[in-house]
Amino acid sequence: MSHANLASIGFPAKEGARSFTTRPEISGTFGAVASTHWIASQVGMAVLERGGNAFDAAAAAGFTLQIVEPHLNGPGGDCPIILHSARTGQQQAICGQGPAPAGLNVALMKSLGHEIMPGTGMLAAPIPGAFDAWMLMLRDHGTWKPLDVLAYAIGYARHGAPMVPRVRATIDSVRPLFEAEWKTSAALWLRNGGPAPGGLYANPTLADTYERVVREAEAAGGDRVAQIEAARRAWYRGFVAEAIDRFCRTTEAMDTSGRRHRAVLNGQDLANWSAGIEAPLGLDYHGHRVLKCGPWSQGPAMLQTLALIAGDDIAAMDPLGPDFIHLVTEAMKLAFADREAFYGDPNFVDVPMATLLSPAYNAARRALISDTASMDFRPGSPDGRTPRTDYAAAIRRAQEMAAAAGSGEPTVSRLGAAGGDTCHVDVIDAAGNMVSATPSAGWLQSSPAIPELGFCLGTRCQMFWLDESLPNGLQPGKRPRTTLSPALVLRDGKAWMSFGTPGGEQQDQWQSIMLLRMLHHGMNIQEAIDAPSFHSEHWISSFWPRGAKPGKLVIEGRYAPEVLAALKARGHQAEAGGDWTEGRLTGARLEADGTIRAGANPRGMQGYAVGR
């Protein structure tokens, strides 16, 4: 697609691609918050206005997201965070991805007749990690007490938050399951007919839970850190853990296997765990250092994608043309193949990360990219290692699921396996503190609601393989390789940008595309978000039923028809999606002159950036 054709999809020609947006990239010097829901963004900004820092603001926004986007995350979910502290000048990754319970292992799952982990219900529940991740960040970097941070979420849970239409659509998709099987979820989400799109809907039980956490925190005295530690105890060793333990021991729930199971998770698992703090992984790319979580996430796949194309003249490519789409997609195929073959919890797996990100390895891998689309699944052999994956089984499962759906077999719809998604929040304050956080899981459709607490457990353990020899094979105490992937970028050694997105496998695809357009084509955050995007489904999905769709490439409908035709001519199994369907990105950046700029995704009409 030539630059002259940019105007055909709303982008003026040549450098005019930098001037069309659905809304401006906001700019100021005091602070900015960008998130996947306007209320969470405003809550974060309210915290900054009241004197809180970026860490206080991000935590308050994160807890609020649990109320306003309950179909995308919840208190029983996960949350990885990457942050930059202006005080120390250092960056940290906080791992709010809880591991498998001590009693969950391959032998148990096989004895129950499972070939893969269920995608819903109780068996796939890991230790919920989000609460501890937020509290650790607040303890070490924030300035506010638990009550101050949780007050916003408590208020919306108590008095009601406006429900976007997708919340109701999600509830409707699992209504038969709730009514027939998950009665505690029906009591919470179907009362009075359930949330009306745009109407207020409260979760008073969750408000009670957080209010009790606050009371127990304040009982520890006036010291801020002591209160935070008391809140953590209440969650992982106190009344919250006790309620989770009791529910897990006494509740059998239908899951995607078509059978009812109890959870393996128990109170001792919660008591023995706390979120981890580690250095993020980094890659130098065209004068910038891109930071991601470790190989317990898929984040390094973005770093590998950038390493694979580092020598290509991206700036000479049309950012909306087929050459750009083809190259980035083919690089992603190689990076995500390595994800499947080598990534896993580094506490259990020797991941050859240095080699996977090395120039020599990626130069050799880059030679595999040709002018035609690859239909093969091609992990490499870093340090001479033999890759091991379950790719053949993933293809078989995808075919079986398609055949079952075509024959009218009761599969996903009967079992209520409505997919969940994710949220994201970015914050920068006037001091230069930065937060990129991606809370997820514990969706209302994950598992039955715990009636005493007002939330359900997550199902991240669905991402494990039932083969201990695989890098992401199930083992007790091991973190499932999550798709959650916040990002931070340094420019000239200084923290520059925080960004991220929901989207499962698409997270590191959309983030790569956004960053490349900013660094090579001069787009600002909002322009890079608004521009038509794309994603591949070539590799093994991390989510139940763990299928793969070789060569599948989806581009937004706003691309010119000749772009789709060119991709098909190169062998891609390409198709056009909706006009505004690719990505829920948000981002914020701090320029050298002190200007803070931010943008958020218009798709779905939920995400907003605010600041001044």
Tens of pLDDT, residue by residue over 277-314, are: 999 999 999 999 999 999 999 999 999 999 999 999 99
Lowest mean pLDDT among 4-13, 152-161, 527-536: 4-13
Checking if the pLDDT of 405 tops 90, the result is: no
Please state, in angstroms and rounded to a whole number, the distance separating the CA atoms of residues 469 and 1: 46
pLDDT digits (tens, 9 = 90+) for 361-383: 999 999 999 999 999 999 999 99
The pLDDT score that the predictor gives to residue 18 is 42
pLDDT digits (tens, 9 = 90+) for 481-517: 999 999 999 999 999 999 999 999 999 999 999 999 9
Please state, in angstroms and rounded to a whole number, the distance separating the CA atoms of residues 541 and 535: 13
* Stronger pLDDT, 448 or 411, i.e. the higher one: 448
The pLDDT score that the predictor gives to residue 410 is 31
The pLDDT score that the predictor gives to residue 404 is 52
Cα-based torsion angle of the residue sequence 463, 464, 465, 468 in order, rounded to the nearest 10 degrees: 160
Please state, in angstroms and rounded to a whole number, the distance separating the CA atoms of residues 529 and 533: 8
Amino acid identity of residue 393, one-letter, is A
Please state, in angstroms and rounded to a whole number, the distance separating the CA atoms of residues 361 and 156: 50
Amino acid identity of residue 470, one-letter, is L
The pLDDT score that the predictor gives to residue 173 is 94
pLDDT digits (tens, 9 = 90+) for 335-348: 999 999 999 999 99
Burial of 579 (0-12, 13-18, 19+ CB in 10 A): middle
189's CB contacts (< 8 A; 6+ apart) are 171, 178, 195, 444, 449
Please state, in angstroms and rounded to a whole number, the distance separating the CA atoms of residues 364 and 359: 9
The pLDDT score that the predictor gives to residue 388 is 85
pLDDT digits (tens, 9 = 90+) for 236-267: 999 999 999 999 999 999 999 999 999 999 99
Place of tokens 């127990």: 216
pLDDT digits (tens, 9 = 90+) for 568-607: 999 999 999 999 999 999 999 999 999 999 999 999 889 9
Place of tokens 């039980």: 205
Residue pair 35/65 in contact (Cβ under 8 Å)? The answer is: yes
Q: pTM for the complete prediction?
A: 0.94
- For residues 560-568, give the mean pLDDT: 97
Give, in order, the Cα–Cα distances in Å from 416 to each of 194, 203, 366, 405.
Answer: 17, 22, 42, 14
- For residues 386-412, give the mean pLDDT: 63
With H, G, I as helix, E, B as strand and everything else as coil, classify residue 345: coil
Confidence of residue 9 (pLDDT cuts 50, 70, 90): very low
Checking if the pLDDT of 10 tops 60, the result is: no
With H, G, I as helix, E, B as strand and everything else as coil, classify residue 425: strand
pLDDT digits (tens, 9 = 90+) for 87-126: 999 999 999 999 999 999 999 999 999 999 999 999 999 9
Checking if the pLDDT of 135 tops 70, the result is: yes
With H, G, I as helix, E, B as strand and everything else as coil, classify residue 63: helix
The pLDDT score that the predictor gives to residue 396 is 75
The pLDDT score that the predictor gives to residue 14 is 34
Confidence of residue 394 (pLDDT cuts 50, 70, 90): confident
The pLDDT score that the predictor gives to residue 591 is 97
Q: How far is CA 280 from the centre of its chain?
A: 16
Is the dihedral angle over the CA atoms 128, 134, 140, 143 positive or is it negative? negative
Checking if the pLDDT of 8 tops 90, the result is: no
Cα-based torsion angle of the residue sequence 319, 325, 326, 328 in order, rounded to the nearest 10 degrees: 90
Checking if the pLDDT of 406 tops 50, the result is: no
Checking if the pLDDT of 12 tops 90, the result is: no
Confidence of residue 556 (pLDDT cuts 50, 70, 90): very high
Residue pair 255/284 in contact (Cβ under 8 Å)? The answer is: no
The pLDDT score that the predictor gives to residue 470 is 95
Mean pLDDT of the chain: 93
Six-digit token string for 476: 């007790």
Checking if the pLDDT of 398 tops 80, the result is: no
* Stronger pLDDT, 609 or 400, i.e. the higher one: 609
The pLDDT score that the predictor gives to residue 418 is 54
Q: Where are the beta strands (DSSP E) in 16-173?
A: 26-28, 31-35, 81-84, 91-95, 161-162
pLDDT digits (tens, 9 = 90+) for 439-451: 999 999 999 999 9
The pLDDT score that the predictor gives to residue 401 is 64
The pLDDT score that the predictor gives to residue 548 is 87
